[in-house]
A and B are shown apart, each in its own frame.
Chain A
Amino acid sequence: MPGGQRTGQDRGQWRRPATGLLIGLAVVAVLFVVRWLSPQGSAGAGLPNAARDFATLSISVVIESLPFVFLGIVLSIAVQIWLPEGLLLRRLPRNAMLRRMVLSMLGMLLPVCECGNVPLARGLMVKGLTVAESMTFLFAAPILNPITIITTQQAFGWDNNILAARIVGGFAIANLVGWIYSRHPRPDELLTPRFQAACAVADHHDGRRGRAARSVRMFVQETSAMMPALFIGAALAGLIQVAVSREVLLALGSDPVWSVLALMLLAFVVAICSNVDAFFILSFGATFMPGAIVAFLVFGPMIDVKMLALLRTTFTAKALLQVSLLVALSAAVLGLAVNYVS
């Protein structure tokens, strides 16, 4: 599409912001009216309990994650459009391994939850981060982040080296994944065609419009990728919760091998934020061995059912399968090591 034509078209759009705004407000009003007219109270709309709980659990994942995803998108917009060019990336060390190590610490500065990190990592990749580096950031940031470290410390103190194993293990696994994928001959093949296209055209638009308009455009792009993934991920998480009995998992608590695998499965299923997962698993602390808790605290922030849905916006299914297996194996080894060594 020739540039001149586009600009003319855009100008046409720009003349009618009031109309667009009115349409937007009308949609908001319609949605509020739908909510207003819908049945109130906790009668449950005649649904069976399991269906009600499926809805409640899925909705709670959406309501909990939504603000974090918005925060991630806003930060991603800030990094791509508002921060001076290269403020973050150009100051990174040249050496690839050091670069990844520094990137794994980026969560210290930008303490977003793992679901918010996905749009942020997308933004960083558009700005020139390699695929391997973005993976290192994605997997390290939810663990190496001040809120997660503080809550883990509050929950477990210094007992059983759970905190140390989480921090060191998370750092090591994220950098291992980064190192392995940095050897990939064609890293672009790990990305979905749609995201590759978004990366390829990102530069074309630079400077053509005002920053505010570009921010809004990016918001539309990122929500169109993230929101379907979030809603589908939430529905899956709710469905698994209703279908899989937690007692079965907890019955495996005291075996050094099975406890590790059971808690990793629980982490995958429960899809809870890394900022508070320590408090959650603390309530099982007496039942499970420390290595299992470490495996939960390391595996959960990196891979779970909601994260896979969100990551699928960016990475191919094959790449996600590989990386999930790699992370799961590493987390299991870490958990078993804690169980048998300490």
Chain B
Amino acid sequence: MRRWQGVVLSLIGIVATLWLGLTGQLALYIHPRYFVFSVVMTVIAAVLVLAAFALGSAKVDDHEHDHADTGAGAGRWRWLWPAGSIVTITAAVVGLLVLPPSTLTTATVSQRDLNGSAATLTQLEIGKLSGGDYSAFTVRDWASLLRSGADLDFFAGKTATVTGFVTSDKNDPANVFFVARFVVTCCAVDAQPIGVPVYHPGWQDEFATDSWVTATSTFQANPDAASRVPIVLIPDAITPTEQPAQPYVY
């Protein structure tokens, strides 16, 4: 049992990776630069796993097992090993094969500082950003500009179209929400939330938190002068939209 645990767990990981790759959902978990590498290594591992089945390697490593059993797995607690294996394999099947693939949610936004990480981006790219084609700007670009401390004069007359998921402003949840995205450098574990504030009193009646929307508007001063977000979008129309195939930005 124990020696096959690795093969079975590998196989669960292999099938999950290949399925995510085939259905174009790997981007929910890892940066696109790893797609090819992941799929190639997974296919190589799949060949090795099938070879292990073909050669019936279960019998072959008996010898090591004899020694191993004199170690930590021996004695009264011996039953823990198969029990642990079954729990791990079951959890792996549920996590990787049964649960629907999903993006991170507002729960993670509240764990991590929204727009807390955009600073460096702005320092590096502000020159490029401020001269660019504003119609092509993403949530990330606008969030960087807002975070850089540019004032309302800079934003005057510029129209932003942003798509992201809805997450409420911590300080003024009744009137302001953010159109947010996660920036991913490696995999979902390092995702950093960024977002553009939208002033829309009563938004909670129209949009569910974590639902995806597209908002188009010019930037204006926040009518609530005491708010921590001085510059906001005040759109006439906010359109519900589908979650994009690549929900994260890079």
Contact = CB atoms under 8 A, between A and B. Distances in A.
Contacts of B3: 220-221, 224
A286 B119 contact: yes
A305 B168 CA distance: 32
Contacts of A250: 113, 116
Interface stretch (A160-168, A170-178, A230-238): A230-238
A279 B116 contact: no
A231 B9 contact: yes
A38 B99 contact: yes
B238 interface: no
Contacts of A59: 16, 29, 95-96, 101
A274 B60 CA distance: 36
Contacts of B117: 283-284
A263 B56 CA distance: 47
Contacts of A242: 107-108, 111
- Report which residue of B19, B92, B104, B189 has the largest number of chain A beta carbons within 10 angstroms of its beta carbon: B189
A20 B55 CA distance: 7
Interface stretch (A45-53, A131-139, A325-333): A45-53
Contacts of B19: 32, 35
A213 B55 contact: yes
Interface stretch (B34-42, B129-137, B227-235): B34-42
A63 B243 contact: no
A228 B118 CA distance: 36
Contacts of B2: 224
B88 A232 contact: yes
Contacts of B210: 49
Given A70-B44, A224-B2, A286 B72 contact: no
A145 interface: no
Interface string A17-59: 1101101110110011011001111111101111011011111
A222 to B, nearest CB: 7
B205 interface: no
A276 interface: yes
B41 A67 contact: yes
A287 B190 CA distance: 17
Interface string B1-38: 01111111111111111011000001011110010011
B175 interface: no
Contacts of A280: 185-186, 190
A273 B189 CA distance: 11
A242 B91 CA distance: 18
Interface string B70-106: 1111000000000011001001110111111111111
A255 interface: no
A115 interface: no
A53 B95 CA distance: 11
A321 to B, nearest CB: 16
Given A9-B59, A197-B67, A220-B57, A49 B50 contact: no
Given A52-B102, A217-B61, A271-B189, A224 B4 contact: yes
Contacts of A286: 119-120, 123
Given A220-B57, A270-B189, 14 more contacts: A20-B56, A21-B53, A28-B46, A49-B106, A56-B102, A59-B96, A63-B29, A67-B17, A198-B64, A216-B51, A216-B52, A230-B9, A242-B107, A280-B185
